Structure formats: structure tokens, C-alpha cells
Amino acid sequence: MAGGGTGGHVFPAVAIAGEFLERPDVQDVLFIGTEKGLEARILRDMGFTLRTINVEGVKGRRAAKMIVSLLKIPWSIAQSVSIIRNFRPDIVLGVGGYASGPAVITAHFMGIKTVIAEQNALPGFTNRMLGRFVDRIFLSFPDREGWFADAGTVVTGNPVRKGFVKGIKKSRRTGDKFSILIFGGSQGAQTINRVVVESIGYLKDIKDRLVITHQTGDKDMDEVSAAYHDYGVDAGVHSFITDMSSAYGSADLLICRAGATSVAEITASGKASVLIPYPFAAGGHQELNARVLTDAGAAEMILESELDGKRLAGVIRRLFNSPGTINRMEKESEKLGNVKAAEDIVDECMIILGQGTDIRGQKSGVRRKI
């Protein structure tokens, strides 16, 4: 498994790796990443083996830093050669991020089967380059723009950890209460925190019927907690929510960013959402992710440039007053999700390795390395 950097790359990789390790024909899984990425902080604690290479991004950098990054590429390829020769994998799967490029391209030219997984509606730079060489491309969204027009693509959806899916215990709206889950990623999102609190001022007549769970991040927790208290709103405010699957399950509505992992979890749990894309995401990919859901009627989107408390309050009030709309959004959301995405990717990888279509039947006694 090659790549990482952010949770959007690492967590789908973890889901796929977990699925690989459940297969009787898989002997071991190795991750290749960087010491600067999220993978260096979490994978070893999760029981995975991680080897790191020295590589940085090239796209969007100033000339001096770009030259430094380019000079590191030969060394990162040499490191990849050493790691791959030592581990001898049967297949290399790139999940995006800086480390994905050298590892996947090295494996390709060493004659090893290679595949990539793309989490966003707008493919990342590394995956766009690698798409010309790999044996298969797994997409979270249909390739509407034809980025991989001449390649072997399979739309699988974005893998979600099995623990998340199993932990979702859906609960419907009970009585006159309306439950809202708000988050902006693991570190929170200050703009969302500020505007959500501002919106409560426009919802005073229904505030006693709102049950709010809000993940703020560390920086804004005290301020947001105080604001809810001043408004007299029933709110559970947390810097970080450990059991996110239960939080999803009990919510009538989600208010959040539109990162690939969030979108995958929203659709896997079949939830209605108001999406506020991060405006500085590379290539505007969060807005494109959100549009997939809004076009299907599964979500509503508010661009950050158009976001204020009054606008958000209007959307919340309309959905609060229309349980039928929430139900329709949930049904469309569930249609877009694929809780078996990791399983489908691993199935396809086994087919590439000549394991046939029913790999759970242990057709081969060969033990694979990924």
C-alpha cells in the first residue's frame, strides 16, 4: 500500500489493508509513506508495518522548492526499489499522496502488478500521472471529465472502515426533536464553528427542539460551548468525537465539509447533509465531491463564500420542517454509498493476480503480499 499524507488517503488505505488481511491468500501488507504524513503517526500504532521514503510534492510549489522536490525523486525511487525488492509484493496499490508516485511507478517498471485508488471527484495530480501505467484504477465517483478515459477504471466508491459501518446504529427522529451533527474534520473548522453558532440566533423559536452534537477541534471548544450555553441550546460540544459512527447514526442531519472520507461515511450511513466545501482544497475537489451528492438530491451545499448564519439557519429550518425531504435525501445518499467498497477493490485485485472471481473459496494456496 503506497501513499498517504492526509486522512483522506490514509483511512481508505487502512480499510483496504484490513480487507486484504481477512483473505486466506494474503500473507502480509506493507505500507510505504513518508515521515511527515499522517501515516507515520498512526499506522504503526494500528499494527501495520510502514517503510518511509524521502519525497515531497512538486505541483504548486515555488521554483526553489520545486527544484529541491525534483532532486529528491531519484533518491525516493532508489528507496522504493530497495523496499520492494526486500518485501517482494505481488501487487502494489497506490492511494494518492506524495509517496504513491515513486512506489507505484517503480513497481510498474519492476514488472509488478499495480493499481491505484482515487478518493475524490477530481483526481489528484499523482494519480492522474499514474493512471497511464497501472493495471486498474478504482474510483469513488464516476469519471465524468474523462481523466482516465483510456484506462481500466472501476467505480467502487471510497472504502470505509468496517468498524465504522458496524458501529452505525441508525435512529430516526423521535417526538419533536431534531438531531444535528456538526464537524469540520478532526481539527475542526473555524468558519463552520462560527457560522453554526451564529445561525442559532435565527432559530430561537425552535432551539428547544434541536439536539446538537458539535465537534469543534481544540481551539474553539470553549468559545462554542459558551455560545450554546448563552443561547440555552441542548448541545454536546467535543474537541474530538471518538465514536463517530454512533454520532452519525443518531443524527437527522449532518453539517460538515465535503472531503472524500466524510462523503464516503455520509453515504455509507445513508444520511442527509448540508455540505460546506473547503474552498482551498486542491483544484476545488471538495466542491466537486459535494456536487455529486447535491445532483443526486442527497445533500444541500452552501459555498463558504455564500455562507452566513442567516443562510444556514434558513436551510436548517426548511429541513427541520420537512421530514419527507430528509427521508428522500437519506434514500438518495444510501444509493450513492457502497459499504463493500474495500471488499470490491480487493476482489478486483485478486482477479488481477489470477485468483478468479470467488477468492473466498481459497482457490489458490499461494500466499500473497500487498
Q: How many domains does the chain have?
A: 2
Does residue 38 sit in the same domain as residue 155? yes
Does residue 180 sit in the same domain as residue 329? yes
Does residue 97 sit in the same domain as residue 147? yes
pLDDT digits (tens, 9 = 90+) for 15-59: 999 999 999 989 999 999 999 888 999 999 999 999 999 987 656
Q: Are 358 and 169 in contact (CB under 8 A)?
A: no
pLDDT digits (tens, 9 = 90+) for 197-217: 999 999 999 999 999 999 998
Does residue 56 sit in the same domain as residue 133? yes
Higher-pLDDT residue of 39 and 365 is 39
Residue 119 lies in a domain: yes
Residue 154 lies in a domain: yes
Does residue 146 sit in the same domain as residue 274? no
Residue 41 lies in a domain: yes
Question: In what helix (H) or strand (E) does residue 64 lie, and over which residues does it extend?
Answer: helix 63-87
| Residue 65's pLDDT band (cuts 50, 70, 90) | low
Grid coordinates in use for 257?
465539509
| Residue 161's pLDDT band (cuts 50, 70, 90) | confident
Residue 351 lies in a domain: yes
pLDDT over 90 percentage in the chain: 72
| Residue 343's pLDDT band (cuts 50, 70, 90) | very high
pLDDT digits (tens, 9 = 90+) for 83-131: 999 999 999 999 998 889 999 999 999 999 999 999 999 998 899 999 9
| Three-class SS state of 160 | coil
Residue 2 lies in a domain: no
Residue 210 lies in a domain: yes
Q: What is the CATH number of the domain that holds 303?
A: 3.40.50.2000
Distance CA 96, CA 93 (A): 9
| Residue 362's pLDDT band (cuts 50, 70, 90) | very low
Burial label for 297, CB within 10 Å (0-12, 13-18, 19+), is middle
Does residue 57 sit in the same domain as residue 86? yes
Does residue 118 sit in the same domain as residue 49? yes
Q: What is the pLDDT of residue 213?
A: 96
Residue 1 lies in a domain: no
Q: What is the pLDDT of residue 359?
A: 37
Q: What is the pTM of this model?
A: 0.86
| Residue 358's pLDDT band (cuts 50, 70, 90) | very low
Distance CA 160, CA 155 (A): 15
What region, left, alpha or beta, does residue 109 occupy, with left being phi > 0 and alpha being psi -120 to 50 degrees?
A: alpha
Beta-bridge partner residues of 215: 183, 238
Does residue 150 sit in the same domain as residue 170? no
Does residue 177 sit in the same domain as residue 241? yes
At residue 363, does pLDDT exceed 50?
no
Higher-pLDDT residue of 320 and 56 is 320
Grid coordinates in use for 298?
442527497
Q: Are 171 and 250 in contact (CB under 8 A)?
A: yes
Which domain, by its residues, includes 237? 164-336
Does residue 320 sit in the same domain as residue 195? yes
At which residue does the C-alpha cell 521514503 appear? 53
Does residue 119 sit in the same domain as residue 243? no
Does residue 171 sit in the same domain as residue 105? no
Segment 58-85 mean pLDDT: 77
Burial label for 199, CB within 10 Å (0-12, 13-18, 19+), is buried
Q: Are 132 and 45 in contact (CB under 8 A)?
A: no
At residue 360, does pLDDT exceed 50?
no
CA within 13 Å, CB half, 15: 29
Mean pLDDT of the chain: 89
Residue 95 lies in a domain: yes
Burial label for 301, CB within 10 Å (0-12, 13-18, 19+), is buried
pLDDT over 70 percentage in the chain: 89
Q: Are 210 and 182 in contact (CB under 8 A)?
A: no
